Structure 1
Amino acid sequence: MSEQSQTEEGHEPGGDPAGLAVVPGLPDRLRAAAEALSAARPEGLDESELLEVLTALEATKGAAAALQARVTAQFVEQRDARVAEQRADEQISARDARCRRRSSRAEVALARRCSPGQADRHVGIARALVHEMPQTMAALTVGAIGEWRATIMVRETACLSVEDRMEVDRRLAGDLTRLGDKELAAAAHRAAADLDAEAMVRRRRKAVASRSVSVRPAPDGMAWLSILGPMVDAVGAFAALRAAESARHVATGDPQVDAERAADERGRGAWMADTALELLSGRAAGQVQPVEVGLVMGPGSLLPEGHPFARVAGGGPTCADPACSDPACPETTRSVPTGAAGVGDEVEVVGHGAWPGDLAREHLLRLCDAGTSTWLRRLWTTPEGRDLVAMDSARRVFGGALRRLIELRDGGRCRVPWCGAPIRDIDHVDPVAGGGVTSAANGMGVCQLHNLVKEAGWTGAVIETGLDPGGGSHEATLTTPTGSEYRCPAPPLLGRGRGAPSRRRAIRPDLRDSPFEIQLVAAFDAA
């Protein structure tokens, strides 16, 4: 029986798609193939051979994607079938069953080195290709198309029944290798509308429920604020902004208003962006944004080199003897490093990434000029300034300053590899039921999904507390139900990608106001 006919017949959950089980030592053979590819070098090949290699590698990627789809579908279906049996026998509750099914998707995410959201899409695509789209799967298996083209076919037919989806797959089988991506998407959409127009209408109505607002970082200290909503409403809001921008060039008859408008040199895009942000946040024109923004910055960033107070606050020895190196000297031990990482002008916006020090200082000055209350929180770090010092709590739940400390230490993002979702919960690495304590050493910031799936047979262990001044940052390991282990190190306080922090001698904590804080107050008073 051919591979295509096997796929057309479909498989029961937990079955053996494409005879994967008959391949002896498949994981070892795949690892050997990967090693052979990594060792290969193109030197010595002529131009035609180089192009042949490109073509062969593209086909290899398609075949690998097809095998990944089969493996993904089989893994998820076997796990789901076992969970269904346990639920039917009343061995587990409905909540535990849902958690274990989510756990299988989270394991797929770790295996594919992607976020859980991406893993959910991979699982859906894999099931559709294996069971409902034999022609597309056959083309992917021989490497005639790539994974993205197969994804387009699945995406454009997601609202159809199995029979209609297989019909679209049959109709476009000959076009899979001829059309471009946009043309293929349009053809699949057209075929889907031809077969079941009502399903397309229901899909569009259902899409309205997915409307949302999100923010994500952009280069150069900027950010994207995205609104996903019905096309009519989104276009109408944009048209209203453009109309308001055009109206600012019309004379009002008020000399003061007209003079202010004439002096406004902002372009159309800048004016529309500023107006939209002011309206959404409820601010008056020119009012500083009052919402808390977590800026992690050192004294050297807050008071740059050359500032009249930077010499004392910047960490240079204040002892009268320039050659003094006595660690017990009270003047020397009360000085602080020039930056949170001991180097340069570094600022980190928690959860969003690096920010130029000049922009951070400008923002703080605008807050001061506007009379907005500004809080500066002192954080104790390791001597070189790379990691935060931990604190303990007697409470069962992470909250207050301890929660904020862990969120800052973990960079505002889930610590599970390749996830990247914002921190929603602070999880006990070693559960309280197993004797774990509520402390920074035993806490780890995770998203809601990973906090839930950890109850489905996952185990954790702290291998580095981050408390040793000479040791590394906080690090934990997670072991999945299948026995795979993943390391979860905390990022540096000022994020990855910066230069290695310079080593400085240890600084004794002083709970009184430091010279930096005294001079900082004087600087703000003078401003």
Structure 2
Amino acid sequence: MSETTIPPAQTPNPENHDGFTAVVKGLETSLAHIEEHGTAEECLTSIARLERAISSLRYHQAALAHQTEINVVHQNATRGNLKQLNRGTAATIALARKTDPHGYREYLENCRILFNDTPHLAAAYSRGEFTEAQMRAILTPLRILKAERRTEFDQLYAKNPRLFANQGTRKISDTVKDFTYAYASDDQCKEQKSAEGQRRIKFTAHPDTGMMSLHAELPIIAGLALKNDIKAKSTSLKAHGDPRTRAQIEADYLASFCTSPDATVPVNMNVALVMTDKTLFLGDRQPAYLDGYGVIAPQYARELVAGKEILNNMTLAEMATTRPPAFIDTLEASIELIRLYTAPGDRELIAMDSTARIFPEKMKKFIRTRDRRCRTPFCDGMIEEIDHVTQACLGGHTCVVNADGRCKFCNQAKETPGWQEIVISRGPHRMKIATGMGPTYHSTAPPATGFAHQPYPQCMSEADWVRSFEDWLNRPPDTGSSPPDIEDIPA
């Protein structure tokens, strides 16, 4: 009878670290005591420091990959291989990193953007301020821009170094897209809209589990309407005592559309599209935000409202001359416009409050619009629950200042003994989160419009434009005047 011998646990062979032997050995020595006897705070602090060190090393990997591509291009040019100068670079870098080579062409493109066009972002990456996934979320949307626009964004980041503070990859991507879509051309936005022609559905059987998976690619509005209806149905049934889980209810409800002859697809669709009045009426290039999806191009947002193609800079007066009067009637009849006002000096939504213990539905909708995604730092989950920042049992008020949107997991984690949260700023809405184990974090609500919080002087020109636009709306229809254009905004 043979016995399996389990080798004793050992530290990595220093010879495998090559030139990093001394660094790794010193790191292992300093961590040895903490790994055995460290407190929770010491362990978490060490984890954070290691993450910064890993991110810094990822920066050097990117720099080495970029230099490798430069060398390969030079070699191919010398040999006369001019068809694809960097051919083979992505595959060799993937082999060196022991990963799948798919996607490494895009990785090299991101490296070119990082080192050629965005020096401030590169410097922050070298200091370990971004993980590799976060840097990919920043650089990938910048591909559609020209080099000078990328440099402009890099300079804006230099002026706002906390632009991506405590954000997850999806929030970071939305922030960058809010900048890039302002410069998206008509062709790019038409391409985004033409993607609806690729809608499809795919079924995959899993005989080993007795299940079947469903994958569908739907147009934005149809997909969001279906998602919102299924979520609302599961929430309603669960609140009325349905013993099934929400996931089971949603799966059964989706299947009922095809298996039940009485099932009907919802006709009234409720989709939240957040955009400025200038983007809607005057053809401004400020991108819009589609709740549950993310940032979308401004002209695409206008087309969702109008139902027809609208060029980038078409004003309301131009639409009136190029579209039949029925167009305006259709817009007013089919679209519910809800005005959300921002506070003076910034782009933060003005607060509302309630005397009830439970958040009213309109207040919940307001908070979802303000927070967009889960307010836990680095979490990209969709908002599933509206919660008090300071619990009601501790005297917290039911108002948007003392409220935040959380995914279900993070809302449960908040109830951990010792976990504390307080609001430290109303505009922008900012919270301080203490986990009770040492580290503290901050969470800031994203701007209602734009990619960065605006300084106070911006408010004055915005307010002047709004007043002039309201004056134009209230004039008699026979005056023949046009609405104020973007150029009318004071400097």
| Same structural fold, with TM-score higher than 0.5 when normalized by the shorter chain | no
What interval of TM-score do these two structures reach, taking the shorter chain for normalisation? 0.3 to 0.5
Q: Over alpha carbons, which structure has the higher Rg?
A: 1
Under a length normalisation based on structure 1, what TM-score does the superposition of the two structures give? 0.40
Q: TM-score of the superposition, structure 2-length normalised?
A: 0.43
